[in-house]
Structure 1
């Protein structure tokens, strides 16, 4: 009977101690939660290497840990990561989150980018669906570090595979033979150029001399042009000035002649309309007079002066 009572006493003490331990644990958990803040991060990339309890750092300084990882029900392309950070961590506007992968250990969540004097990231009461879809503020993300490289690794491998296939198709036996022929021709051309090295050097020397002579000729042409300009300035330009004066005088004479013709134009019109018709009638009368005089002269020649006074006598008739 006494032994059973001891067991009951021991059990009661153990239960009391367990209850006290549970109360202390809950109290400590509440104290810890009071000194930490929780945020959601939506990663549109693989979170391989990230696990519950992974470290969260701010600019390399430990600031908290990952609380949970799960796919976002609204869009399976995103992974929702719940993190808790210390209360004194400056989660301000401009802060972004990235996944820092590692080949030797687990991945971590890195926070940085806060702007001095910016307000903290909080829930917007006017837009709770985007700012706090699960009751805590959302930290925006950005791709960077090894995570970005690992995310783009499949595309890089695919492009590398495509490039390898194209190189394989390019380096066929026929193309390799063609490339070998091109290399052989290049070698022969190089050898030929090496053999003709002295001739090429002589040609280059001659070319240099020709260029120098061309430069001298150009200099002489420049001097000739300067001399020509001086000649034009001294001889041709005065002659051109005299010619311009002569042309100006001729223009003035032509203007005077045009004015005189304009003044004589009324008299010319009167002459053509009155004098010329009278002269035509006079010429016609002179022609008629000349015709009559010709007829008289012909009669005088044929019949003498008497033919002008009377009719011509009939010839004497003689009988047989």
Structure 2
């Protein structure tokens, strides 16, 4: 009975010591370890190669591990990945997460990068919305990495590759091959013809170069002529135009003066035309009659002498036979 009691006592003491040792070990581990923070990442892509315990790196530095992987119940297109990182990891505003492969082993890891100096840490707001912190921890936005881009674009790449293969097959049919061969043959003939006409082409190019040079000289001369013409217009034509304008102004002034004089002389001209001109006409007629009379008298004096003006003409004496 006493032996049995001793065994129970010894067993109880051993269990107490083991429990104390376990508690001490956990305490030591907590003292020696570092605190960690948890974040959620929602990937809209395949997470092949990622599993619980997979590494989490920040700019290539190991900083934590993956704690949980599950489909997001609100939207099955997304995969929720819960990660735990060291407390001193700078998960700040602007930090993004991607999935990257580790060598050629098929194992993947979560890569964080993009922290900016002075930016605030990613935290949950005081009143988080379902999109901010749906599971009570901050959410790190994603950025499509090289592996994710390849995996997401693989179907489109395969479809385009298939379409390209079909088009190449149709392009390389027997008929098209014959056409391509004809085109190549014509190209060879054209190349040979151009090679044979090389000297003529060179001469033509030389003449073209000379013609272009002459055209440039002619354009320069035309420019000089235009400058000279502008100078002549400025030096000679403009003063002449000014003198002509002055002459026109003077002529206009003279015409105005003449018009005024005519207006003033118009009453006298009307009286002259109505009274004086008829009287002058009558005077001219009288002078014409008087002139005729004087002509008759002069003729009579010439024929009969001055006595004819005093008496009558004496008849000759008649003598009988």
Query: Normalized against structure 2, the TM-score is what?
Result: 0.66
**Count of residue pairs the alignment pairs up:** 271
Separation in 2, partners of 1:123, 1:219:
77
Alignment match, 1:40: 40
- Tell which deviates more after alignment, 131-140 or 227-236: 227-236
Alignment match, 2:111: 110
Separation in 1, partners of 2:162, 2:18:
62
In structure 2, stretches of 5+ residues that fail to align are 270-321
Alignment match, 2:200: 199
Tell me, yes or no, if structure 1 residue 139 matches structure 2 residue 140.
yes
Preserved CA contact (<8 Å) 1:42 1:141: yes
Separation in 2, partners of 1:129, 1:54:
27
Alignment match, 1:76: 76
**Following TM superposition, by how much is the alpha carbon of 1:227 offset from its aligned partner in structure 2, in angstroms?**
6.1
Question: Residues 188 and 35 of structure 1: is their aligned pair in 2 closer, same or farther, counting only changes over 3 Å?
Answer: same
Preserved CA contact (<8 Å) 2:45 2:78: yes
CA RMSD of aligned residues (A): 4.3
Separation in 1, partners of 2:259, 2:223:
49
Separation in 1, partners of 2:7, 2:222:
130
Tell me, yes or no, if structure 1 residue 56 matches structure 2 residue 56.
yes
SS in 1 for 2:99: strand
Preserved CA contact (<8 Å) 1:49 1:107: yes
**Following TM superposition, by how much is the alpha carbon of 1:203 offset from its aligned partner in structure 2, in angstroms?**
2.4
Question: Residues 24 and 165 of structure 1: is their aligned pair in 2 closer, same or farther, counting only changes over 3 Å?
Answer: farther
Query: Normalized against structure 1, the TM-score is what?
Result: 0.66
1:202-235 CA-to-partner distances (Å, cap 9, x unmatched) read 2233333444444555555556556666666676
SS in 1 for 2:80: strand
**Following TM superposition, by how much is the alpha carbon of 1:252 offset from its aligned partner in structure 2, in angstroms?**
2.3
SS in 2 for 1:127: coil
Alignment match, 1:123: 124
Separation in 1, partners of 2:113, 2:167:
43
In structure 1, stretches of 5+ residues that fail to align are 269-320
Separation in 1, partners of 2:262, 2:121:
104
Alignment match, 2:276: none
SS in 2 for 1:183: helix
**Following TM superposition, by how much is the alpha carbon of 1:188 offset from its aligned partner in structure 2, in angstroms?**
0.9
Preserved CA contact (<8 Å) 2:59 2:111: yes
Alignment match, 1:168: 169
**Following TM superposition, by how much is the alpha carbon of 1:260 offset from its aligned partner in structure 2, in angstroms?**
5.6
Preserved CA contact (<8 Å) 1:102 1:146: no
SS in 2 for 1:68: strand
SS in 1 for 2:85: strand
Separation in 1, partners of 2:257, 2:263:
10
Preserved CA contact (<8 Å) 2:38 2:82: yes
1:153-187 CA-to-partner distances (Å, cap 9, x unmatched) read 33222223223333333343333333222222221
Separation in 2, partners of 1:221, 1:78:
76
Alignment match, 2:95: 95
SS in 2 for 1:165: helix
Tell me, yes or no, if structure 1 residue 248 matches structure 2 residue 249.
yes
Preserved CA contact (<8 Å) 1:45 1:151: yes
Separation in 2, partners of 1:231, 1:93:
76
Preserved CA contact (<8 Å) 2:34 2:86: no
Alignment match, 1:189: 190
Separation in 2, partners of 1:27, 1:164:
66
- Tell which deviates more after alignment, 41-50 or 94-103: 94-103
